[in-house]
Structure 1
Amino acid sequence: MRLFPSLFVLGVGLAAALSAERADAAERTFTVEYKAAKGCPSRETFVDEIKRRTAVARLAGPGEQPEVSMRVKLDVKRRKATGRLDMTIGTTATQRDLEDPSCAEVVSALALLAALAIDPLAETAHLPPLPLPPDPHVPGEVGTRPAIPEPKLLETDPHYLGVTDAKVPREREGYLLVPASLPAFPYVPPPPPRDRPFDVGPGTAFSLDVATAPVPLAGVSGFIGFRSLEDDLPWSIRAEVTYSVSAGLASIGPDEPSGAEAIEGASFRFLRGRLEGCLPGWLPTSWVRVWPCGSLAGGALWGQVRKSVPVPKPDEANRFNGLGDQTKQQFVGLSEGTSPWFVGGLAGRLELAPAEWFAFELRAGPDFPLVRGSFKDENGGEIFTAPPITLSLGIGASAAF
């Protein structure tokens, strides 16, 4: 009869040994190479979520060959968090890409995928939040807010509490009981949702048009723009008005006039409206934007020609020498003309944005006149006609909200 207790003890020992051996065999080691953008959860958070979902996962020790190798890369761009998980199990490699407005949600989802790769029976339900650390001011309580301290009586002159504008009344106006310190974990309301899917804002630029007139035209532009940086296909549209003038008198006509009148020079003014669309935008970083653009522009070019005639000028010295009278040019009037202007254009725009709502920009590109400016004199002779290709340049700044 004493044999049965001995066999029972032996059986219990063998069962315990087999259970320990199975537990050791069930463990799967893994390593994590982790690279995260600023504001994303740490590597420890990622590893902890894996261990909370499965008990068989264990980080490989130094010199230990892991069964599962992982590489995690997190990035935040244009208010979207993206995450990539590369896993190698034996000779099999897999890759998963996820995105979400919250980087913490991306990390949690990648940790779930990693846990399932280690243990197909891993927990898939949403994990509850970790309890708060014990409160040193309230012994025995875990995960609660610190108690509000006893109020104290203020007997001071008027002042302001913190950064608020709550004025404390004078002592004669009554007593006010306020806590010695504000409660922990203040409520921070979430930002309000955007009421539109795009930004809008004004801008201004200095412009330079080359070959539109015989001399470059310098001026200023004002515009209002609409853009979206949130979508997978960024776009930009703007309406612009430009007024520019010639830097000086343009030399036109023959150097030696053949008739009685001579053209001293011409000045030009230019008014243009432009509608420009840019798609798609290339945003390599959060502060650099490159836009390929196309546009249609229309307006008018005003020209003013200054004329003069030769007038005899007596010169006593020349007359004494027998050389006769000399002449000088005398201004006699202005001749004005206007020509319509309509072009299609291509351009590239580079934006450098120190802030999301503000950017410096540089724009350059050719215009192809469909209706070109042309000016002629009274006899029908051509004074100036714009070439088939002109150049438009601009440098300025813009804002968007």
Structure 2
Amino acid sequence: MVFTGKHVLLVITGGIAAYKMPQLVRLFVKQGAQVKVVVTENAKNFVTVKTLATVSQDVVYDDQYVSENTAALTHLELPLWADFVVVAPATANMIAKLANGFADNLASTLVLASNKPVYIFPAMNDVMYNQVATQRNLQHLNEGGLTIFAPETGPLAEGYSGKGRLPEPETIIETVYTAYYRHAHSQVLKGKRFIVTAGGTQEPIDPVRFISNRSSGKMGYALAKAARLLGAEVTLITTKPKLAPKGLKVVPVATTEQLQAAIEARYQQADAVVMAAAPADFRIATPAQQKIKKVAGEDELKLTLVKNPDILATLGKKKQGQFLAGFAAETQDLEVNAQKKLQHKHLDLIIANQVGQPEGGFDSDQNAGKMIFKDGTVQPIALMSKEQMAMVIMTAISERL
């Protein structure tokens, strides 16, 4: 829930894409935000106030609300309440008003009265979008500190494809998340090179079977995103590249030995390595070249396993100033076992988390644990989303870099 505790002010203007906004509200709420919605009169032609009130569980603000509540300073109170403002869809008309300082309705007034981050998502016909006047207005808004996100190319209301389409709500959520946390957190890792690993390795038994574990890669993906938001140059080495977040440099691997080779090839240039991947401790001594068949009368199949290299311990011995962090997924004696790994592998930080619990751990969107540093500092992390936990971890690492 990456927006837990955040106040989102959503301004909806009168474009056809306004019909998507109830879903955007639902997604913000699902991610922990409290949402207040403001609509223009034209927006109500495309989406109902009742629907927006239902999904936001709050009153919907419009010009009629202002006229009926004359004592309230709604245009000032809402911007003060908000952590950030999203204008979606933003029509050419609203963009022109904001660029030229017009405040002739509640929507335009509260945006102009806001000193919080404002994210503008233009959506209109492609010809309107490409007009000199529209582009000039967008440039004025950008120069004034508002953040503009270009529309997508795709099917338009006119029946053909062009640049002017509002991104899907899921894309807007991801875009706002990235922009807001870049704004909220200074680029403290700018110039630093990070290697982050994710996912469980796969050790082949034969061409169709392998040994692996329950690691989903979600924690590693969140850590890579957090490092990038804080300004780092990030290389994500993962066993599940198709699920990796967009915009990251991704190196796909499968086995523990491939993971080790990929890290070591980049280790000398790295400032930090965060090992969130779950390498298999053992591999098949000699994987079969052909699919292993069941044999009549044989009820057992014996596999000979050999130990895989300990990647973190190897990196710890080669350290030349790199910050090295790892994870300890334990089912018992959490802190004791984590401390042993911290010392044995020469780590700067180990994140210990209890697996096998009802909430958190493998394949969950949430996690909890303890950060244990080599200087003896222990910092508990309460149950929270993996995105939030990743930001806590990366912020702590940045303070030590």
Global fold match (TM > 0.5): no
The one of the two structures with greater contact order (alpha-carbon pairs below 8 A, sep at least 6) is: 2
TM (norm. structure 1) is 0.21
Q: Which has the larger radius of gyration?
A: 1
More helix by share: 2
TM (norm. structure 2) is 0.21
